[in-house]
Structure 1
Amino acid sequence: MEDAVGFADDHLIPLVDEGLGNSAYLLDFGDGRALAVDASRDLRALHTAAERRGLRIAFAADTHLHADFLSGAVQLGRDTGATILASAAGRRVFDHRALADGEEVDLGGLMLRALATPGHTDEHLSFLLLDGSRELGVFTGGSLIVNSAARTDLLGPERTEELARAQYRSLQRLTLLPEDVAVWPTHGAGSFCSAPPGTERTTTIGAQKQANPLLGAPDEDSFVAQLLASLGTYPAYFNRLGEINRRGPAVLTAQPLLPALSAPQVRALIADGGHVVDVRPAADYAAGHIPGSLSIPLRDQFATWLGWLQPDTAPLAFVTGADQDLSEIVWQSYKIGYERLAGHLAAGMDAWLADGNPQTTTAFLTADRAAGRPYLDVRQESEFAAGHVPGAMHLELGGLSAAAADAPHGPVVACGHGERAMTAASLLERAGHRDIAVLDGGPADYAAAQGQHLVEGTEGTHA
C-alpha cells in the first residue's frame, strides 16, 4: 500500500500564497476529479493546476471561517458544481454539506473524515484523509501548524483564553493519530494568523511531537500562556471576513477589470472622498507621487497592507508603473473583499503632471546618507525585538495612522528593505508630517554605516 509521502508526492498539489502565508491544496483522486481545500477567491493558481492535470473540482472543503481571505468554495460550487464541505457549527447560509465531528465523506475510493478541532475558530474542522483503514494525512487548517498553532484571538479578547484552551485539546487530539500521518496546514510562515518563521509548509504528526514547542508544554495552563504570549497584531480586515465567508462571498460572473482613468477623473475621485493607492516600487514613489496617495508597492504582501491600512468603504484609484500587472491588483484586492476599484491612472504620473497637477517627493536615502535623523522602525514587534538599531523608536506600520502624532519630527523611516517604510512615510505625509526620509535598506545596513551593532529586545524603545 502506498505510504503517505508517496501518496502526497503523486496526488497532492500544495498551492502556496506567499503574501498571506497560506497553503491551499488540490487533491487528485486519480479519476479526473479533485478536492480543493481552503481555496481562496483568487482561483487562478488552482485552475491552472487543475487544467494541467485535466481535473474537475468535485469537492471544495473549508476547514474554518477564514479571517484573512475570502473563500473560493462558493465560486467553485458555481463554476464546477463542486460539493462544498464545511462545519455544521459554522452556520453557513449557502448550499453546502454541513459536517459534524466524525462524519465521513466518500470521495470515491478515498474517504474524508471530519474532526472537530476548535481553537483558531470555534467551528474549526480538520479533515482526515483515509484510504480504507489507512490514515494518510490530515488537513489541519489553523489547528496544528508547523511548529505552532494558529492564533485564538480572532473572535474577541473575551474569548481568547477559552479558545486557547480548546486549541490545546484539539492539538492533543491530533497527536493521537499515527506518527507517520502527514500534516497539511493552511497557515504557514508569513501568515498573520500566527505562524513562526520557517520554510516548511507541511510536516507529520511524529515530527510535530518532537519539534513543536507548544506540544512540549507540560500542561494546559502552560500551553495557553505560551500561545497567548506569541500573539502579535493582525490586520483590521480580519474582523470583517469571517462573517462574509459565513454568508458566502458574492459569485463573480466575469473577470473583474481595472478601467483606465484620466487625470481629471482621478482628481474628481479624490474630491468625492476616494483614495489613491500607488503600487509602483518605492523608488518610483519617492521620485514623485500624487499628494496624499498611499504607497503600497505591488508584491506578494500587497493584499495584507491594503487590508490593514485602507478602508473598504471608499472607491480606490491606483497609480501603476508601465509593466505592472493590473490583474494582480484586482485579484489581491478581491480576495480580501476590496471590490470598489475605480480604475488606474492611464499613463501614470506623466499624465498627472501633463494635466497640470502637483506632485510630492520623498527622500529615499542609502544608509551612509541617513545619519543624524531620528530613526523610526516600523517593522513588526517580533522583527524589532530580534535586532534593531540602538536608540531606534518603534511604531508598527499597522498602527501608525492612529499613532502618527507620536512619530518624531524629520525621521528616517525604516523597515527590512524599504517597501513598508515608504508606506509609512506616505501615511505620515498624509497626516501632515514633513521632512521625512526613507531608508533604502534595512537596520543592518544602517548600523554598519554608523559603526554600530544591532541590539535585541524591546524595552524603552517605543515611540
Structure 2
Amino acid sequence: MGFADDHLVPLVDPGLGNSAYLVDLGDGRALAVDAGRDLRALDAAARRRGLTVAFAADTHLHADFLSGAVQLAHDTGATILASAAGNRAFDHHGLADGDEIDLGGPTLRALATPGHTDEHLSFLLLDGARELGVFTGGSLIVGSAARTDLLGAARAEELARAQHRSLRRLATLPDDTAVWPTHGAGSFCSAPPGAERTTTIGAQKRANPLLGAPDEDTFVARLLASTGSYPAYFDRLAEANRRGPAVLTAQPLLPDLSARQVRDLLADGGQVVDVRPAADFAAGHVPGSLSIALRGQFATWLGWLLPDTVPLAFVVNDDQDADEIVWQAYKIGYERLAGRLAGGTAAWLADGNPQTTTAFVTADRTGGRPYLDVRQEAEFAAGHVPGAVHIELGALAAVAADAPRGAVVGCGHGERAMTAASLLERAGHHDLTVLDGGPADYAAAHDTPLTEGAHR
C-alpha cells in the first residue's frame, strides 16, 4: 500500500457533486486541496488523525463553492497555494507551471491545465521522482472533462481547445498515476457527470470518450455538446473567491423570528424559504414563500433561484438541522440569513396570518391536465410524459407566463416540482397540482409509454 492509499482522505460534498482532499503528510501536518468554506468534515477528519492543516491548495477560482483556503489560513496558519495568474487579493503563495513546493517529504508540482478556467492548475503529488497522483480539479474528471463555458459562450470553444491540450498533457503521466478530481457526479461543472469520483490515468486513457477523441475538433464538439444549464450563482463566485471570502470567527446562527418579524421582512422585500419536505409545504405554507426542501441539493437551488442580496427567513420543521441550512447557504456566499420562523406555520396561523395550500398527489389522481416537466434537458430527453411542456426549473421564473395554467408539475420525485409550483404561485398561477413521483409513475398510472428526445 503506497503513500496515497495510506494518507489521502477524500471528502465528498454530494449535494454540489465535489470532492475535497486531506493529505496526511506524515509528521502531524496536512495538505488540504480544494476545501470548501464548510470545513466541518475536513476539520473532523483532521482531528481524528491528529493533524494540523499546513497547506491549502486551490486548483482554480471555483464557481460552485466558496473556497475554504482563507479560513484555513486564519484557523491553522496554513499557507495558501494557488495559481499566480489568478490575481487573488489575499496572501498566498502564487505558483506557475512547473513550480514545486516541498511539503516536508512529498512534493507538490504545479501543472498549468487551463480550460475549465484560464488560471487552472493541477497539482502532481510526488514521492521523490515517483508520481503518486494528480489533483486535477476541473480539468480531467472521471469519464469526461469539466465544462468550458463558465466565462461566457463566446470563449467556450477557445477554452475547450485549451482543455484538450491540458488533458493530453495529463495523459502523458504514467498509467498507474491516481487521478483525484474536484468535480464529479452531481456537479454542474461536470460535463457530463459520472458515478465514480477517482480514477487513474490509465483507466481514463482506456475509457474516457474525450481522451479517445481522434482529434481536437472532435474533442471540442463532444465537450461542448455535453454542457447543459448551470446555476445563476456560478457567475459571481469566481470573483468572490479571487477577493477571498470573509473569515468567520464564530459559528453563524439562525436566530428565531416571530411571525410579525417575518411579515415585516416580506413587506420590506425579503424572501421566505420553506425548507420542509414537499408534503409539508403542500399542506400549508406562508403565501409567497419558496419551497426548497432541505437536502443535499439545497444550496444549488437556493443559489439558482434567489439573489444573495436580500434577507432570507426560513420555515423549518423541529427535526431539521438549522446548522445545515446555514452552512449550505454560507458555502455559496449567502449570508443575509435573517432567521427562522419560531414555532413554524402553527405560529404563523396563530398570529392571524393566512396560508396557502398546494395539491400534491400521486400519479393516478392527475388525469386531464397539461403536464409541465421542470427537470434538466438531459433528464427530459431520456424519457418524458407524451405532450409534456418542458421548462427547466432554473429558467422557470423568467418565463412563468408561458407555463400552462392548471398544470400537473412534475420532476423526478416531487421536490423540484414543488419548488416550481411555489415559483408559479408567486407569479399568479393557481389551481396547480404537483406530482408526488416522477414520469415513470405517471406512465404506469396512465398506461402510456414515455417519449424520448429533446423538447421541440
* Global fold match (TM > 0.5): yes
The match for 2:38 is 42
1:419 equivalent in alignment to 2:415: yes
Q: Secondary structure at the match of 1:217?
A: coil
1:143 equivalent in alignment to 2:156: no
| Paired residue type of 1:337 | G
Alpha-carbon distance in 1 for matches of 2:451, 2:274: 34
Specify which of 38, 57, 75 is matched with residue 71 of structure 2.
Answer: 75
Alpha-carbon distance in 2 for matches of 1:400, 1:129: 44
Alpha-carbon distance in 1 for matches of 2:332, 2:191: 19
Specify which of 263, 268, 275 is matched with residue 267 of structure 1.
Answer: 263
Which segment is superposed worse, 354-363 or 191-200? 191-200
Alpha-carbon distance in 2 for matches of 1:256, 1:366: 39
Number of matched pairs: 456
Alpha-carbon distance in 2 for matches of 1:459, 1:357: 41
TM-score, with length taken from structure 2 = 0.99
1:20 equivalent in alignment to 2:11: no
The match for 1:381 is 377
1:438-449 aligned at under 5 Å gives the runs 438-449=434-445
Specify which of 1, 5, 11 is matched with residue 7 of structure 2.
Answer: 11
Alpha-carbon distance in 2 for matches of 1:31, 1:424: 51
Q: Deviations over 1:343-381 (max 9, x none)?
A: 000010000000000000000010000111111110000
Q: Secondary structure at the match of 1:265?
A: helix
The match for 2:241 is 245
Q: Secondary structure at the match of 2:123?
A: strand
1:94 equivalent in alignment to 2:94: no
Specify which of 342, 347, 355 is matched with residue 346 of structure 1.
Answer: 342
| Paired residue type of 2:14 | E
The match for 2:400 is 404
The runs of 4+ residues in structure 1 deviating greater than 4 Å are none
Alpha-carbon distance in 1 for matches of 2:160, 2:380: 26
| Paired residue type of 2:77 | G
Specify which of 422, 432, 435 is matched with residue 436 of structure 1.
Answer: 432
1:166 equivalent in alignment to 2:199: no
Alpha-carbon distance in 2 for matches of 1:455, 1:126: 42
The match for 1:457 is 453
Contact 1:377 1:392 in 2 (8 A): yes
Alpha-carbon distance in 2 for matches of 1:37, 1:332: 20
1:32 equivalent in alignment to 2:28: yes
Give the deviation of 1:459 after TM superposition. Answer: 4.2
Alpha-carbon distance in 2 for matches of 1:18, 1:49: 17
Q: Deviations over 1:412-452 (max 9, x none)?
A: 10000000000000000000000000000000000000001
Specify which of 286, 303, 306 is matched with residue 290 of structure 1.
Answer: 286
| Paired residue type of 2:283 | A
| Paired residue type of 2:4 | A
Specify which of 54, 60, 63 is matched with residue 58 of structure 1.
Answer: 54
Specify which of 329, 354, 360 is matched with residue 356 of structure 2.
Answer: 360
Q: Deviations over 1:113-151 (max 9, x none)?
A: 000000000000000000000000000000000000001
CA, structure 1 residues 300+69, in 2 after alignment: closer, same or farther (shift >3 Å)?
same
| Paired residue type of 2:37 | R
Contact 1:145 1:195 in 2 (8 A): no
Q: RMSD of the TM alignment (CA)?
A: 0.7
| Paired residue type of 1:60 | A
Alpha-carbon distance in 1 for matches of 2:412, 2:183: 23
1:221-232 aligned at under 5 Å gives the runs 221-232=217-228
Specify which of 294, 314, 320 is matched with residue 316 of structure 2.
Answer: 320
1:210 equivalent in alignment to 2:206: yes
Contact 2:145 2:191 in 1 (8 A): yes
Alpha-carbon distance in 2 for matches of 1:232, 1:7: 38
Q: Deviations over 1:194-231 (max 9, x none)?
A: 24343210000000001101111111111111111111
| Paired residue type of 1:158 | A
Q: Secondary structure at the match of 2:3?
A: helix
Contact 2:187 2:193 in 1 (8 A): no
Alpha-carbon distance in 2 for matches of 1:69, 1:112: 24
Alpha-carbon distance in 2 for matches of 1:414, 1:98: 48
Alpha-carbon distance in 1 for matches of 2:5, 2:276: 38
| Paired residue type of 1:72 | G
The match for 2:328 is 332
Q: Secondary structure at the match of 1:85?
A: strand
Q: Secondary structure at the match of 2:165?
A: helix
Gaps of 5+ in 2: none
Give the deviation of 1:277 after TM superposition. Answer: 0.2
Alpha-carbon distance in 1 for matches of 2:5, 2:423: 46
Contact 1:385 1:458 in 2 (8 A): yes
Alpha-carbon distance in 2 for matches of 1:257, 1:308: 23
Q: Secondary structure at the match of 1:179?
A: coil
| Paired residue type of 1:300 | G
The match for 1:105 is 101
Contact 1:365 1:437 in 2 (8 A): yes
Contact 2:381 2:455 in 1 (8 A): no
TM-score, with length taken from structure 1 = 0.98
CA, structure 1 residues 129+29, in 2 after alignment: closer, same or farther (shift >3 Å)?
same
| Paired residue type of 1:331 | W
Gaps of 5+ in 1: none
Q: Secondary structure at the match of 1:401?
A: helix
Give the deviation of 1:9 after TM superposition. Answer: 2.6
| Paired residue type of 1:347 | G
Alpha-carbon distance in 2 for matches of 1:21, 1:99: 27
Q: Secondary structure at the match of 1:27?
A: strand
Q: Secondary structure at the match of 2:124?
A: strand
